[in-house]
Every structure is written in structure tokens, then in C-alpha cells.
Amino acid sequence: MFHNDSMCVIKEEGGRLLFAGYNDYTINVWDVLKGSRVSILFGHENRVSTLRVSPDGTAFCSGSWDHTLRVWA
């Protein structure tokens, strides 16, 4: 299910989504129950190195080697 070049992975608290940041500058969103990718998110200009989901699960942040922090909602 996952690529070998993943940098970070975080699961939504109590949910079924898993977020994975990759060396190819993308974030993949996975449905853990189906074992399938739901979405690929683009926006960073370098490796995605950190992820954090908000406590209520409505948004998440990603940090990258491009020195940016993005909020996805």
C-alpha cells in the first residue's frame, strides 16, 4: 500500500484516514479500511517531513523541507 520513499505517516484519531508524506513532495491520503488511496495532495516544493491532524479531525498540517507549513482543510 505504501511507497518506500515515505517520510512520515499519521493516522486520523479515531478515524479511518491515514496521511503519508513523501520524498516526491506529495501527501497521500489512504482509507485504512479499504486499503486504497483516496487522494494525492500537491503543494510543497520539497520533501514532506511532518504531519499533524487537528484534534477534531477537520484539518491537518504538513511541514516540508521547503521551509513551509501548510494547513489543509
What is the Cα 27 distance to its own chain's centre? Answer: 4
> In the numeric block, which cell numbers belong to residue 25?
513532495
- Pair 19, 59: CB distance under 8 Å: no
User: pLDDT tens across 48-72, in order?
Assistant: 999 999 998 899 999 999 999 999 9
Residues for the chain: how many in total?
A: 73
Q: What are the beta bridge partners of residue 48?
A: 64
Q: Which of 62, 45, 58, 64 is nearest to 10 (CA)?
A: 62
User: pLDDT tens across 18-47, in order?
Assistant: 999 999 999 999 999 999 999 999 999 999
pLDDT of residue 3: 57
